[in-house]
Amino acid sequence: MSDWESVIGLEAHVQLKTRTKIFSGAPTAFGAPPNTQACAVDLALPGVLPVLNGEAVRMAIVFGLAVEGDIAERCRFDRKSYFYPDLPKGYQISQLDEPIVTGGHLDIENEDGSTKRIRLTRAHLEEDAGKSLHEDYQGKTGIDLNRAGTPLLEVVSEPELASPEEAGRYFRTLHTLVRTLGICDGNLNEGSMRCDANISVRQRGSTELGERTEIKNLNSFRFLDKALAFEIERQIDVLESGGRVERQTLLYDAERDETRPMRGKELSDDYRYFPDPDLLPVMVTESMLDEARATLPELPTAKRRRYVEELGLTDYDARWLTVDPDTATYFDAAAAASGQPKAAANWVMGDVAAAVRREEAAWTRVPVPAAQLGKLIKRIEDGSISGKIAKSLFQTLWNDGGDVDELIGSRGLKQVSDSDEIAAIVRRVIDANPAQVEQVRSGKTRVLGFLVGQAMKASGGKANPRRVSELLQEALSGDAS
């Protein structure tokens, strides 16, 4: 095995989060009843014409800027012809010679924290096809064209990924990026991101590429990993037994965990690309670029750097918080509201994350608004409430909502820092625990903790523990003298 190395390139299909189709004004929402989101243009009825959705262009530009690719001043759409029932026009509108984005790169992070730069060949706009449903309609296939015409950004990497693990990291990095950019919802289980993988293997150290195969339509991180692992092993087996890898298009069968040659679908030996005469050249103007630049959010890499360098978070925390852009958005808001980034990070990664996991909530809809979490953290910091009270208050906020300050007030949760009041409690505790008091006095200072606990208990958890400790020590030393 170790004599071989694999070379992988990915073509990722990123569904753009536009409201309408790329060439029609029909909606793109997922999960509608069959063919209720396919208008005359999507159905390719006679005489209808495509008109390009400006938002899809804007999103492609945003992506191009984020990966530092070249954004073409002029790009063009081509027809790619093949017959398949989920392709209503008999051709797909795509971009062949003049894609909107050329070049660029994605930096992926290896296990050891080092980064590897993966160059992008291009990113182009195209339309998605419909869906073929093979459940039994009396031996027939049903065609749902709701997805037909959904805008896709096809992101093509150079064959620079060396293993299924790297390919997985690349795909995850891309996933985080397009979600951060707000151009894709990233719902893999709804097919919002799929990829085709090109794989070849070669003797370690060789500079020539072996014959490659292509696996189509991988729609989860897990399938990508398993399909690549299987295919690499298969190719090595073929080569080691003296055979030759055949250039072919494969499908990954998840049930059997194997790749097998694809039949029919989307396959042609001649797609007859030519410029679509129904569409004119797209010109990307300076003002379109400026507008896209202005809306460009902070990218994951920059965000991570800022968390470490400006907010003082650990690298681990920074990475944890930036994997999912919605988590980062929540954290940013909580950190800003609290003025305590480290504390905010602990809360987000601790109690908030636990609750999100437990309740299967979305980071965009955490029931405790980041502003309330920020206030909560502030109230701990200014001594208004104890950490323990804060934890239970967080649960209250999660379950019932409300305002931190109002709840502290109405439920009497405010920490008691008044010296007289605490002194009275301390007095009672000292009186009630003579044995422990004696132990402390004889030098067993560890027992002081027990007394503090008793005082806290007596205060219903509201006494300021620091103040309790101070007054206890004061009282005990005073008694001794």
Partner 1 sequence: MDADLIDKLMRLAALRLEAQERELLKDNLQKIVHLIDTMQSADTDAVEPLDHPLDGVQPLRPDRVSEVVDRNRFQETAPEVRDGLYLVPRVVE
Partner 2 sequence: MTVGRFATIEDIRAALKSKTTSAVELARERLDRIAASDLNSFVTVCEEDALAAAGEADKRIACQGQTGLVGVPIAHKDVFCTAGVRTTCASRMLSEFVPPYDATVVTKLRDSGAIMLGKTNMDEFAMGSSNENSYFGPVSNPWDATRVPGGSSGGSAAAVAAGLVPAATATDTGGSIRQPAALCGISGLKPTYGRVSRYGMVAFASSLDQGGPMARSAEDLRLLLQHMEGHDPLDSTSADVGPTPHETDGTGLRIGIPREYFAATVDDAAAILERLGHGRLEISLPHTAYATAAYYVVASAEASTNLSRYDGVRFGHRAESPVDLDDLYARSRSEGFGAEVKRRILTGTYALSIGYYDAYYRKAQRLRRLVRQDFLDAFETVDLILAPSTPSTAFEKGALVAPDETKDPTVMYAQDVYTVPASLAGLPALSIPCGIVDGLPVGMQIIAPHFGEDRLLSLAESFQRETDWHQRTPAVHGTNARASDTSGGRYSMEGRRGSAGSGGGAQRMQSAGPAMGRS
Q: Which residues bind partner 2 (CB under 8 A)?
A: 40, 43-52, 79, 81, 83, 85, 88-91, 143, 145, 264, 269-270, 272-274, 276-280
Residue 27 contact partner, candidates partner 1, partner 2, none, CB within 5 to 8 A by sort of partner = partner 1
Q: Which is nearer to partner 1, 61 or 373 (CB)?
A: 61
Q: Which stretch binds partner 1 (CB under 8 A): 37-45, 224-232, 343-351, 386-394?
A: 37-45
Q: How many of the other CB atoms lie within 10 Å of CB of 124?
A: 23
Using CA atoms, how far apart are residues 462 and 456, in angstroms rounded to an integer? 7
Q: 173 is written with which tokens?
A: 């990095």
Q: Draw the binding track, 231-270, toward partner 1 (x: CB under 8 A; -: no contact).
A: --------------------x----------xxxx--x-x
Residue 44 binding partner per list partner 1, partner 2, none, with a CB distance cut-off of 5 to 8 Å that depends on partner kind: partner 2
In angstroms, what CA-CA distances link 48 with 24, 40, 51? Answer: 10, 7, 10
Q: Which residue has the tokens 């993988």?
A: 197
Question: Is residue 44 near partner 1 by the rule CB under 8 A?
Answer: no
Q: Which of 7, 8, 9, 37 binds partner 1 (CB under 8 A)?
A: 37
What are the beta bridge partners of residue 118?
106
Pick what 278 binds: partner 1, partner 2, none; C-beta below 5 to 8 Å, kind-dependent: partner 2
Q: 89 by DSSP, 3-state: which?
A: coil
Distance CA 129, CA 147 (A): 6
Q: How many beta carbons lie within 10 A of that of residue 354, not counting itself?
A: 10
Which of 29/280 has CB closer to partner 2?
280
Strand 151-157 relative to strand 115-127, pairing: antiparallel
**Among 373, 305, 392, 289, CA closest to 335:** 373
Contact 126, 11 (CB under 8 A): no
CB of 277 to partner 2, least distance (A): 4
Which residues pair with residue 6 across a beta bridge? 201
Does 275 contact partner 1 by CB under 8 A? yes
Q: Which stretch binds partner 1 (CB under 8 A): 27-35, 97-105, 302-310, 359-367?
A: 27-35
Residue placing its CB nearer to partner 2 in the complex, 88 or 164: 88
Q: Between 51 and 302, whose beta carbon lies closer to partner 2?
A: 51
3, 36, 190, 409: which one binds partner 1 (CB under 8 A) = 36
Q: Which does 137 bind (CB under 5 to 8 A by kind): partner 1, partner 2, none?
A: partner 1
Between the CA atoms of 350, 352, 358 and 360, what dihedral angle is there, to the nearest 10 degrees? -140
Question: Does an H or E element contain 231, and which?
Answer: helix 221-240
Q: How far apart (Å, rounded) are the C-alpha atoms in residues 163 and 473? A: 62
Which is nearer to partner 2, 38 or 193 (by Cβ)?
38
Q: Listing from the earlier edge strand, what are the strands of the sheet with 78-81?
A: 91-94, 78-81, 274-275
Task: Name residue 59's amino acid.
Answer: M
Q: State the minimum distance, in angstroms, from the CB of residue 60 to partner 2.
A: 17
Identify residues 70-129 at the interface with partner 1 (CB under 8 A).
76, 81, 83, 85
Which lies closer to partner 2 via its Cβ, residue 275 or residue 367?
A: 275
Q: Which does 46 bind (CB under 5 to 8 A by kind): partner 1, partner 2, none?
A: partner 2
User: Measured from the CB of residue 219, what is the shortest distance to partner 1 in angstroms?
Assistant: 14
User: Rounded to whole angstroms, what are the CA distances from 337 to 133, 354, 375?
Assistant: 49, 21, 7
Cβ proximity to partner 1: between 127 and 317 the closer is 127
**CA dist list (Å): 427 to 143, 262, 443, 477, 479:** 81, 83, 20, 13, 11
Chain positions contacting partner 1, by CB under 8 A: 18-20, 24-27, 33-41, 43, 45, 51-57, 76, 81, 83, 85, 132-134, 137, 139-145, 251, 262-265, 268, 270, 272, 275, 277, 279-283
